[in-house]
């Protein structure tokens, strides 16, 4: 397909964008609280599928039972040195106290607020904080699983997280990704967890600095298996229909959740309309999925989907594209996006061509329904456009995990005013252009030279940290060899770009690119094996050798030092094996 033909086709689809259906979705969803497992979530799903039925778009509605923890209410009362009640919330998968109040002494431990979105999921528990057993810990930030797990291992009785603003942000504190299995079913949080807003949290903090503070609290949640709808749309391509791009986003919300993620649902439905109307122009298929269980099940819907369709995803999925929080007010920048290294040039050009703006992408966090890393599927667009940094500073906004960086994220205030239809149209242009190009480009537009270069940078950083304590030269040499092989491979396949998708040589090359993804993505984003799910804790680059960063904490020759060297030997073997497997594909 020539550039002129591609540009003409993209123009046809982009000119098709209308705000009529998205506006209708937002207006209807603004009347619903789409809590997973609720009647409102079912109503929302039916609202979307009614449109699909009227348009004749092929789809199924699966009804899986998902393991969820739905917060209902919480209570907190200081009993000494004063008596006072405070408004609090409890995150999903906190321990349930019910009517049996838990009491104890409050201790403030500073862990700091996140400075950017990449810090939101991190842990900053200070060392040598003393014996915290039986204490109720007050600290800053969102109730994320890493901090909860670390403090729980110290034997604390409970935790209270101070939200960074006047609103209390909803959240989830389990490390388990999706439904548990036999290996992790006992890893649910072992302590009750609360969240409080900043003014009230500061009051508690100041009290604890001046007096011994005791308090009592209760948490109420509903936990169990809930039947939820998963919408699964399949729009067949004309030349290689078994191969598809997976476009997805979550339907459930905290409260009305307009910016997170009603705007995403509106976008997915509009894209389903446009892609189906122009299905005769699609070379490969587009599969669109709408997940429940995102908020109260730690991506339970997308995890279920991977469990059910993992073999097909492994065989046929070209790429997965996340659509979360598009079309939010003031979110005019595309320089805070996330995507994998092999699509860096691809994504930048998509944004430039679609909306004539620069774009930057960073390594995807362990978040955003990226439930596909252990299979090894090329992934791009976690979240969408964002408020520019200078505007955030001007408004005094703190980091959040969605809503285009609007601080209404995960609060009762995520209402219609957060949505911006003009920005939604821009974001739709970006998504449509990216998905269409991934589906229609003759040779998959994913360049793993960038991945090899990322590996080289990562290994060198680990080598610098390890210094003379461990030698990563074998991994560096294998990475350099792979990079050269990849450069030669892409030079050879460049001549195929104007051929038909069904040509045997094109199919062979695309199979190699898909297999490169199946090898290189898991080694970079996962610790567990294929078809399993890592925990919700963030996974460092090349995680098998990431512990090299810990040498500075150990005494040379100690037991822990020797164990670390053993671990890195095994980890480097796995990395080198993967690199060699990738090179063998290119012979």
User: What pLDDT was estimated at residue 226?
Assistant: 98
Residues of the chain with pLDDT under 50: none
Q: What's the CATH code of the domain at 113?
A: 3.50.30.30
As a whole-number percent, the residues of the chain with pLDDT over 90 amount to: 94
Sign of the dihedral defined by the CA atoms of residues 59, 62, 68, 71, in that order: positive
Same domain as 557, residue 420: no
Q: What's the CATH code of the domain at 307?
A: 3.40.630.10
Same domain as 245, residue 159: no
Same domain as 408, residue 304: yes
- DSSP secondary structure letter of residue 195: E
**How many angstroms separate the CA atoms of 567 and 545, rounded?**
8
Alpha helix (H) residue ranges in 56-134: 117-120
Cis preceding linkage at 81, omega within 30? yes
Same domain as 243, residue 337: yes
Q: How many domains does the chain have?
A: 3
* Cα–Cα distance list, 201 to 13, 79, 119, 195, 352 (Å): 50, 16, 20, 9, 44
Same domain as 493, residue 359: no
Same domain as 372, residue 291: yes
Label residue 9 exposed, middle or buried (CB < 10 Å: 0-12, 13-18, 19+).
Answer: middle
Of 173, 195, 226, the position where a domain reaches its end is 226
Same domain as 529, residue 457: yes
Same domain as 75, residue 54: no
User: What pLDDT was estimated at residue 2?
Assistant: 53
Decide the pairing of beta strands 317-322 and 378-382. Answer: parallel
Residue in the block written with tokens 């005791």: 214
Same domain as 386, residue 306: yes
pLDDT digits (tens, 9 = 90+) for 161-189: 999 999 999 999 999 999 999 999 999 99
Of 440, 469, 499, the position where a domain reaches its end is 440
User: Listing from the earlier edge strand, what are the strands of the sheet with 334-339?
Assistant: 59-62, 230-235, 284-291, 240-250, 317-322, 378-382, 334-339, 359-362
Same domain as 265, residue 215: no
User: What pLDDT was estimated at residue 123?
Assistant: 63
Of 394, 409, 440, the position where a domain reaches its end is 440
Tell me if 414 sits within 8 A of 254, measured CB to CB: yes
Q: What's the CATH code of the domain at 570?
A: 1.20.930
Which pair of tokens denotes residue 259?
A: 């910016």
Decide the pairing of beta strands 213-227 and 102-108. Answer: antiparallel
Same domain as 111, residue 91: yes
User: What pLDDT was estimated at residue 129?
Assistant: 87
Same domain as 233, residue 372: yes
Domain hosting 562: range is 449-585
């Amino acid at each position: 397909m020539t550039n002129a033909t591609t540009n003409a086709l993209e123009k046809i689809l982009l000119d098709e964008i209308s705000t009529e259906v998205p506006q209708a979705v937002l207006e209807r969803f603004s009347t619903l609280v789409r809590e997973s497992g609720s009647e409102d979530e079912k109503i929302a799903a039916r609202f979307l599928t009614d449109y699909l039925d009227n348009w004749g778009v092929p789809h199924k509605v699966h009804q899986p039972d998902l393991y969820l923890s739905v917060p209902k209410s919480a209570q907190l009362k200081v009993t000494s040195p004063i008596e006072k009640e405070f408004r609090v919330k409890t995150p999903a998968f906190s321990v349930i106290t019910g009517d049996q109040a838990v009491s104890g002494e409050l201790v403030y431990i500073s862990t700091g607020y996140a400075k950017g979105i990449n810090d939101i999921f991190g842990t900053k528990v200070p060392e040598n904080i003393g014996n915290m057993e039986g204490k109720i810990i007050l600290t800053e930030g969102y109730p994320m699983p890493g901090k909860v797990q670390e403090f729980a291992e110290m034997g604390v009785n409970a935790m209270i997280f101070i939200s960074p603003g006047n609103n209390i942000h909803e959240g989830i504190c389990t490390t388990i990704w999706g439904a548990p299995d036999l290996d992790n079913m006992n890893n649910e949080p072992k302590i009750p967890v609360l969240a409080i807003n900043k003014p009230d949290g500061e009051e508690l903090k100041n009290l604890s600095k001046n007096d011994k503070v005791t308090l009592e609290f209760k948490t109420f949640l509903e936990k169990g298996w809930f039947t939820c709808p998963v919408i699964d749309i399949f729009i067949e391509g004309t030349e290689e229909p078994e191969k598809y791009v997976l476009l997805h986003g979550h339907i459930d919300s905290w409260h009305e959740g307009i910016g997170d993620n009603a705007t995403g649902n509106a976008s997915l439905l509009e894209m389903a309309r446009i892609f189906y109307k122009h299905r005769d122009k699609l070379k490969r298929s587009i599969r669109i999925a709408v997940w429940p269980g995102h908020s109260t099940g730690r991506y339970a819907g997308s995890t279920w989907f991977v469990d059910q369709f993992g073999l097909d995803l492994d065989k046929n999925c070209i790429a997965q594209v996340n659509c979360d929080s598009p079309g939010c007010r003031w979110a005019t920048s595309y320089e805070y996006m996330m995507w994998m290294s092999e699509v860096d040039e691809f994504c930048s050009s998509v944004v430039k061509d679609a909306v004539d703006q620069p774009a930057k992408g960073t390594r995807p966090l362990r978040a955003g329904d990226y439930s596909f890393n252990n299979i090894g599927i090329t992934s791009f667009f976690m979240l969408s456009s964002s408020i520019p940094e200078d505007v955030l500073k001007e408004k005094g906004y703190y980091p959040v995990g969605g809503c285009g960086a609007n601080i209404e994220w995960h609060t009762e205030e995520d209402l219609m005013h957060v949505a911006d239809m003009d920005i939604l149209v821009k974001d739709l242009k970006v998504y449509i252009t990216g998905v269409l190009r991934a589906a229609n480009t003759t040779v998959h537009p994913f360049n793993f030279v960038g991945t090899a270069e990322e590996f080289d940078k990562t290994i060198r950083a680990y080598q610098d940290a390890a210094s003379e304590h461990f030698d990563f030269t074998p991994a560096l040499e294998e990475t350099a060899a792979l990079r050269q092989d990849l450069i030669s491979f892409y030079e050879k396949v460049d001549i195929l770009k104007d051929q038909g998708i069904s040509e045997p040589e094109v199919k062979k090359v695309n199979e190699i690119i898909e297999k490169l993804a199946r090898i290189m993505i898991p080694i970079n984003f996962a610790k567990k094996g294929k078809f399993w799910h890592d925990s919700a804790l963030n996974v460092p680059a090349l995680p098998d050798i990431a512990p090299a960063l810990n040498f500075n904490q150990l005494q040379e020759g100690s037991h822990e030092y020797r164990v670390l060297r053993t671990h890195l030997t095994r980890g480097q073997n796995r990395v080198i094996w993967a690199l060699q497997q990738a090179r063998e594909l290119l012979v």
